[in-house]
Amino acid sequence: MANIVIQVTTATIKNMESFYEKNKTDKTPPGAIFAAKKNGCTITAYRSGKVMFQGTRNEEEAKQWGQSLNQLTKPVQTKTSGAPLPANISSMSAIGSDEVGKGDYFGPMTVVAAYVKNDQMLLLKELGVKDSKNLTDSQIIKIAKDLLTFLPYSLLTLSNEKYNKLQSSGMTQGKITALLHNQALNHLLKKIDPEKPEAILIDQFAEAPIYFRHLQGQKEILRENVYFSTKAESIHLSVAAASILARYAFLKAFDELSKKAGFSLTKGAGAKVDQDAARLIKAKGISALNQFTKLHFANTNKAKKIAGITKA
């Protein structure tokens, strides 16, 4: 059975100490405030605020005081396709790329490639760069503004009109995404030339063979040192930075669209989005959707029904 460690406040340790008063053991290990044994579970509280639970039913005992640090910091499960990742990829000077907006009915798709050198990693961590899914919009805006002042990057914003044109010409969203990543990566390589990254890591939206199939027929297909992984923002800070910059660009574009619409549009593709789209149809006509939305989403038909254009 694995030991469980939780982090608590001094006040909680005081509470715990009186709670386990009768179960206290004589021996207190170095650095510990108290140790206790209850129903086969040994509880050791340390001055650092860490409390360890060992032995039978330790989960039960621990969970009344706090969440296991193991659970909080459990390693992210990633999946790699194509070439296996170099063992030390996290510390390499690398370009990472990521996209935002694929699942949002309103707003563009944004793709960013960003270059992070090994000696910039501490600074990026200091600025708060991490998985953008764990950051609020206002944190993302603040970090992005810092990054934009020094980090080499390439941003592509695919407007709704252009997206709809490509999509209606027969391109899948996967193909559109692949073309944008490849283009952003090429732009950035030219920007940092003659410097060369040690690796290029794409946040995997399609398995490597599919990605390259999407790129067939393109002039500049980047293959050298290109790696793919899911949750790649947890593997290299360049992907985390790219996702922050892509999200920032998306948020700005989204605000602009809301201004054009005359009201605050909703992110995602849920029921509120259908309502917003119906409101747009009533105010500006059905043809206006082309500049605000990804037309092929199911939201379009739902909005038409709500707006009374088609029968329910």
Give residues in contact with Mn ion (CB under 5 A): 98, 203
If the CB atoms of residues 98 and 276 are measured against Mn ion, the closer one turns out to be 98
If the CB atoms of residues 68 and 204 are measured against Mn ion, the closer one turns out to be 204
Q: Judge contact between 146 and 114, C-beta under 8 A.
A: no
If the CB atoms of residues 244 and 289 are measured against Mn ion, the closer one turns out to be 244
Strand-pair category, 226-229 with 199-203? parallel
If the CB atoms of residues 203 and 276 are measured against Mn ion, the closer one turns out to be 203
Residue least distant from Mn ion (Cβ): 203
CA distances from 218 to 97, 153, 180 (A): 19, 22, 12
In angstroms, give the least distance from the CB of 222 to Mn ion: 18
Alpha-carbon gap, residue 131 to 157, rounded angstroms: 21
Return all residues near 310 (Cβ < 8 A) that are at least 6 apart: 301, 304
In angstroms, give the least distance from the CB of 204 to Mn ion: 8
Closest among 252, 238, 243 to 152, alpha carbons compared: 238
In angstroms, give the least distance from the CB of 47 to Mn ion: 41
Alpha-carbon gap, residue 47 to 89, rounded angstroms: 36
In angstroms, give the least distance from the CB of 214 to Mn ion: 16
In angstroms, give the least distance from the CB of 79 to Mn ion: 13
If the CB atoms of residues 52 and 202 are measured against Mn ion, the closer one turns out to be 202
Closest among 209, 162, 164, 200 to 182, alpha carbons compared: 200
In angstroms, give the least distance from the CB of 205 to Mn ion: 6
Alpha-carbon gap, residue 300 to 310, rounded angstroms: 11
If the CB atoms of residues 61 and 98 are measured against Mn ion, the closer one turns out to be 98
* Residue 144, Cβ density class (10 Å: 0-12 exposed, 13-18 middle, ≥19 buried): buried
Exposure string over 219-254, b if 16+ CB within 10 A, otherwise e: eeebeebbbbbbebbbbbbbbbbbbbbbbbbbbebb
Alpha-carbon gap, residue 140 to 271, rounded angstroms: 26
In angstroms, give the least distance from the CB of 260 to Mn ion: 27
If the CB atoms of residues 61 and 203 are measured against Mn ion, the closer one turns out to be 203
